[in-house]
Amino acid sequence: MKNKYAKKVMDQVRAKDPNQPEFLQAVEEVLSTLGPVLEANPQYEENAILERMVEPERTITFRVPWVDDKGVVRVNRGYRVQFNSAIGPYKGGLRFDPSVNLSVLKFLGFEQVFKNSLTTLPMGGGKGGSDFDPKNSPHTPGKRCSDGEVMRFCQSFMSELYRHIGPDTDVPAGDMNVGGREIGYLFGQYRKLTNEWTGVLTGKGISYGGSLMRPEATGYGAVYFAGNMLATRKQSFKGKICAVSGSGNVASFAAQKLITLGAKVVTLSDRSGSLYVKNGLTTKDVAEVIALKTVRRGELSEIAASVKGAKFYAGGNPWQIAARVDCAFPCSRQNELNGADAEYLLKHGCKLVAEGANMPSTPEAIASFVEAKILYAPGKASNAGGVATSGLEMSQNSERLSWSAKTVDDKLREIMAAIHDNAYEAAAKFGQRGNYVAGANIAGFLKVADAMVAQGV
Ligand code: NDP
């Protein structure tokens, strides 16, 4: 990190939070690209903008007691990190996973601040969740929690969270393991406790204030963003071989959109392993995966035999399977694509990586992509379509109106194009044309930093 001010703040964060590796990784990734902006704008250092940006405005941790199906009392830890509200109410998802801790949520909340700024909508950044594991019942490990257990957990979680959120304060949404079912239980409990119907959560069901296209938005948005990148090299998705990781919300809709645009999607993955289909999955296969994951809540290994031409590779990631990959879409989890995976992809033809997940590429992988000058989109830019559509859900709730799927999809396309152009132009303005990492960080940072300067210390 060359800029002295950025380096000083990075050292302070390392000294203060030495046990938060994911948070340190996310902060370093942003600060290391801001040098030219900090040099051109001394007011940011004078106002201690970086020191303030790396400290959440508020961090809440709480006890979540609940009763399992056997009548045993269980206790999990709940969190909400309200990172920055300079440009709008805190906004960001809730994640339920045993890997959830303060470091993970601070990394996600920090990223969210820049991502939300990039969407062009008035949203601050936050993130929350719990170490609750809905995929592992505490009384029968390996078996999923029942709907009743998930409901009781969500009700207890919201019984504390409700006092810290609100439609103009903090508007959570889903993230890993928090989909339509969980948002429904959380919303029901919020309504009961407050006796109010407001758009306090996004990702709601269509019958009670949800937006059409919200489930599709993150995956579709990542593909729209990637399409804008390809257009800068006068290319399209037609005939491109694409590797996608994950098989949840983001991955499945990214795969679906890619196939409809003429690409060949050759992989999907989950905790059980990777599905590889040399001639490409069909939209029917993807629909089957969506049903598997959202209705039956099963594993990819269960359907591998019924997908035409599929091979199943147990464990691991899908990055080093296909003999040729033109485009990669990591849509599973943080740090799922490492330096060796990046080298493999580059050697096997990869010219575009668009992140659907948050921070899926390790710093070594990012360095390889940037050095190879391929089209590489960091998650905070390419996966912003989800939160942008959450912003559109908030607008519809405030208006007491529901927009058509086409209206929302058109707005999503416009927003992804605007994010792309802002990131591209910010990189060019600060001497790093084609570097979307620098461009996204700079464009996201400037709006929040200027709002913080304007609002005083
Ligand atoms: P889901 O829970 O729907 O899907 C996550 C996928 O990743 C599943 O296929 C899951 O497998 C797989 N996975 C998780 N952990 C592991 C692991 N340790 N090893 C192998 N596979 C794993 O989550 P989403 O699709 O919503 O989110 C995916 C990523 O996208 C996350 O990083 C999230 O923060 C990010 N994101 C999501 C947004 C959204 O709107 N949903 C918005 C912006 C970013 P399995 O099914 O076996 O659990």
Q: What is the pLDDT of residues 322-334, one digit of tens each?
A: 999 999 999 999 9
Q: How many CB atoms lie within 10 A of CB 210?
A: 23
Is the pLDDT at 316 greater than 90? The verdict is: no
The enclosing H or E element of 76 equals strand 73-84
Q: How many CB atoms lie within 10 A of CB 374?
A: 19
Residue whose Cα lies nearest atom 34 of ligand 1: it is 358
- Per cent of the chain over pLDDT 70 is 100
Which tens digits make up the pLDDT trace of 170-185? 999 999 999 999 999 9
Query: What residue has token string 């039956």?
Result: 296
Ligand 1 centre to CA of 334 (Å) is: 9
In angstroms, the CA 230 to CA 210 distance is 32
Q: Which of 269, 350, 355 is nearest to 313 (CA)?
A: 269
The secondary structure of 171-195 as a DSSP string is: EEEE-TT--HHHHHHHHHHHHHHHT
pLDDT for position 408: 98
Report pTM.
0.94
Strands 310-314 and 273-277: antiparallel
Ligand 1 centre to CA of 246 (Å) is: 6
Average pLDDT, the chain: 97
Residue 221 Cβ contacting ligand 1 at under 6 Å: no
Could you tell me the two tokens for 83? 């990172």
pLDDT for position 304: 93
Give the helix ranges, DSSP H, for 297-378.
300-303, 339-347, 363-372
Ligand 1 centre to CA of 109 (Å) is: 16
In angstroms, the CA 336 to CA 362 distance is 7
Mutate-to-test residue for ligand 1 from 104, 249, 289, highest number of ligand atoms within 8 A of CB: 249
Which tens digits make up the pLDDT trace of 414-425? 999 999 999 999
Mutate-to-test residue for ligand 1 from 132, 218, 220, 301, highest number of ligand atoms within 8 A of CB: 218
Confidence band, pLDDT 50/70/90 cuts, at residue 315: confident
Q: Provide the b/e sequence for 44-59 (b: ≥16 CB within 10 Å).
A: bbebebbebbbebbeb
Which tens digits make up the pLDDT trace of 18-30? 999 999 999 999 9
**How much is the average pLDDT of 370-384?**
96
pLDDT for position 27: 98
Is the pLDDT at 65 greater than 80? The verdict is: yes
pLDDT for position 444: 98
pLDDT for position 202: 97
Ligand 1 centre to CA of 194 (Å) is: 31
232 CB burial (10 A radius; 0-12, 13-18, 19+): exposed
Could you tell me the two tokens for 37? 């902006």
Strands 352-354 and 264-270: unpaired
